[in-house]
Amino acid sequence: MNRFRTIAALIAVSLPLAHAVLLTPSEAQQQGDRACTPLDNGMLDCVDIAPPAPGPANDPSIEPLPPIEYPGEQFPPPTTEAPIKPALDPIPEKLTGNRLIIGWDIGFGTTAQYWEVWDNGELRMRSRNFTTRRLAGSSVEGAEQMTETQVISVQSGVYTLTNLPEGRHDIEIRLCNTDRNGDPACTPLKASTWVGAQHAGADDDEQLTGQPSAPQLDWLPQVSTGEPVELAWNVWWGKPGRYWQVLDGDQVLYESTAFKEVTPNSQSAGMTLAGLPKGVHNLSVKLCNQLECARSEPARLEVLLPPEGTVKPLITLNRGTPDSVLLAWALPQAQAEGRPDSWRLLDAVTDDPLPEPLGNLRSDVRVCQRTDAANPGVTTASYCGDLRLPMQVATLNGSTSSVRVAVCRKEECVESDVVSLLPDQPAIEPVPASASSVSRGAPRTASSTTAPAAEIDTPTPTPVPPAPRGRFVLPDEVLDSLLDERELSAPKPSRR
């Protein structure tokens, strides 16, 4: 425990987020105006955005009256209104380059305190900087224009996304206000665009365009008892696609660019769906070229029993910066019964929460797309969280710190496998429980004890007779009398 308290102190002085350039996705979502660019190691390269200049205000000597707080119930109760939905500039379906200019206007209504730009589930910008722009079509249709007038927006925002990688980009713009408790009330705007290959001679974009043919699902069982299900589909004759998605209703579970067979007029692919939660699932496949897609007919699958085995969060460790480690976890949405609301780090040896702040219960759970090296070309819609730890956490006192992650939804939690914070060293497995100390929640029985994982052959030491200990040495006459009593009390063999 002392070791982890030292770790907590190191974190408090080692990670000054206000001056950080490389941030984790969870750190970037905290308060602050910044612009971020994703990196390959899961970190975000962020720069601070200067706050807007203060507007016209009263003389500093004039102090406003404090707000009146009523102890009883108020009617109507105090609420914070979300910004009105703005008018978004048209976003092209396909970009000729790798930059996108985003703009919006509010002509009237409730304005925003700040606004954000998200790209494929990652925060790219948060700012309190706004502008005003001239609104087009300000005159009434058919009316005679007597004088030249200009209508200016109440509030506008403009931002340019640069260095966009090839592929589909789901853009979300959020205009937000903050209530008394600090919770945001946001109005979202969504749009999608496609960034083509930027290298010369990229003919693939020109060949795979237009809406593909609708895929046909192979036979699926209507009832499952929790075992994995093979989902396969075919385009027997028609136009192939570039990528495909697996959907449960309208929720995208997986996206893949891997195919089993591809010809100019046919295509097929498939995957194994494991860990589907209990309930009814309407599965379908969507085949896409850029932003044009065709969807198969849905197939109904009812899972009667919980999935086999335990659903576990998947842990990855990357070197975030030269002096820190990025611990990230992901729980596939296809295997979760709902969105988790909290998570924390546990000591791998005792299975108890780590001391604060390492073991704090965290609520920064987000939606992300996770890639798996074992399945190239496949991304999984997941619930994710991350935490950056200084290298001192893993190398303190020359030992390996092993932890596990517990992800919770209400009162139910699932725990990951044990991981070492040093990727090059094995994790420390939990110590087997003894007769006086059993695992949490396990009954205190003799079967709770476990044998060591392996036995080491060592030479048996020669027994050494105990040395006499002073006042406990018996006199010879006493010892003789004891031996005589032993012979007298020994049972005699039967003559029969």
pLDDT of 333-360, one tens digit each?
988 888 999 999 988 888 888 877 778 8
pLDDT of 206 above 60: no
For the chain, the domain total comes to 3
pLDDT of 274-307, one tens digit each?
888 889 999 999 999 999 999 999 999 999 887 7
How far apart CA 444 and CA 436 sit, in angstroms, is 8
pLDDT recorded at residue 382: 93
Q: Which of 159-168, 215-224, 383-392, 393-402 has the lowest mean pLDDT?
A: 393-402
Residues 235 and 261 in one domain: yes
pLDDT recorded at residue 372: 76
What average pLDDT does range 137-145 have in this prediction?
Answer: 52
Question: Residues with Cβ < 8 Å from 27, sequence gap 6 or more?
Answer: 17, 20, 388
Q: Domain with 228 in it: what CATH number?
A: 2.60.40.10
Cα angle 41, 47, 51; round to 5? 150
Q: Does residue 482 lie in a domain region?
A: no
pLDDT recorded at residue 311: 82
The two tokens of residue 118 are 């998200």
pLDDT recorded at residue 139: 47
What average pLDDT does range 409-428 have in this prediction?
Answer: 76
Q: pLDDT-derived band of residue 172, with 50, 70 and 90 as boundaries?
A: very high
pLDDT recorded at residue 438: 34
Residues 252 and 392 in one domain: no
The amino acid present at 306, given as its one-letter code, is: P
pLDDT of 45-95, one tens digit each?
999 998 888 877 788 888 878 877 777 776 666 678 999 999 999 999 999
pLDDT recorded at residue 323: 79
Of the residues 405, 425, 445, the one at which a domain ends: 425
pLDDT recorded at residue 79: 78
Peptide bond into 76 cis (omega under 30): yes
Q: Does residue 141 lie in a domain region?
A: no
**CA 70 to chain centroid:** 41
Q: How far is CA 402 from CA 149, 273, 346, 390, 481, in A?
A: 69, 31, 9, 14, 62
Strand partners, 189: 173
The two tokens of residue 150 are 């200009």
What average pLDDT does range 400-423 have in this prediction?
Answer: 84
Give φ, ψ of 35 to 5 degrees. -125, 135
pLDDT recorded at residue 449: 36
Of the residues 391, 425, 459, the one at which a domain ends: 425
Q: Does residue 143 lie in a domain region?
A: no
Q: Does residue 68 lie in a domain region?
A: no
Of the residues 279, 303, 327, the one at which a domain ends: 303
Residues 260 and 382 in one domain: no
Residues 297 and 343 in one domain: no
Q: In whole numbers, what is the pLDDT of the chain averaged over residues?
A: 78
Q: Does residue 19 lie in a domain region?
A: no
Q: Does residue 340 lie in a domain region?
A: yes
pLDDT recorded at residue 468: 45
pTM for the model: 0.72
What average pLDDT does range 37-43 have in this prediction?
Answer: 86
Residues 113 and 250 in one domain: no
pLDDT recorded at residue 397: 41
Residues 184 and 213 in one domain: no
Residues 261 and 327 in one domain: no
Q: Which range is most confident: 21-25, 267-271, 469-473?
A: 267-271
Neighbour tally for 303: CB within 10 Å:
19
For strand 223-224 and strand 299-303, is the pairing parallel, antiparallel, or unpaired?
parallel
Contact criterion met (CB below 8 Å) for 407 and 413? yes
Q: Provide the domain limits for residue 213.
A: 209-303
Residues 355 and 415 in one domain: yes
**CA 461 to chain centroid:** 54
Residues 411 and 280 in one domain: no
Q: pLDDT-derived band of residue 151, with 50, 70 and 90 as boundaries?
A: confident
Residue 352 DSSP code:
S
Residues 184 and 278 in one domain: no
What average pLDDT does range 390-416 have in this prediction?
Answer: 76
Cα angle 167, 171, 174; round to 5? 165
pLDDT of 479 above 60: no
Residues 419 and 318 in one domain: yes
Q: pLDDT-derived band of residue 432, with 50, 70 and 90 as boundaries?
A: very low
Give φ, ψ of 200 to 5 degrees. -70, 145
Of the candidates 367, 369, 364, the residue with the CA atom closest to the CA atom of residue 387: 364
Question: Residues with Cβ < 8 Å from 89, sequence gap 6 or more?
Answer: 101, 102, 103, 104
Residues 185 and 236 in one domain: no
The two tokens of residue 136 are 């087009």
pLDDT recorded at residue 348: 85
The amino acid present at 338, given as its one-letter code, is: G
Q: Does residue 98 lie in a domain region?
A: yes
Neighbour tally for 432: CB within 10 Å:
14
Q: pLDDT-derived band of residue 137, with 50, 70 and 90 as boundaries?
A: low
pLDDT recorded at residue 377: 84
pLDDT of 435-459, one tens digit each?
333 333 333 333 333 333 334 344 4
Q: Which of 109-123, 165-179, 398-412 has the lowest mean pLDDT?
A: 398-412
Q: Domain with 363 in it: what CATH number?
A: 2.60.40
Contact criterion met (CB below 8 Å) for 359 and 346? yes
Q: Does residue 58 lie in a domain region?
A: no
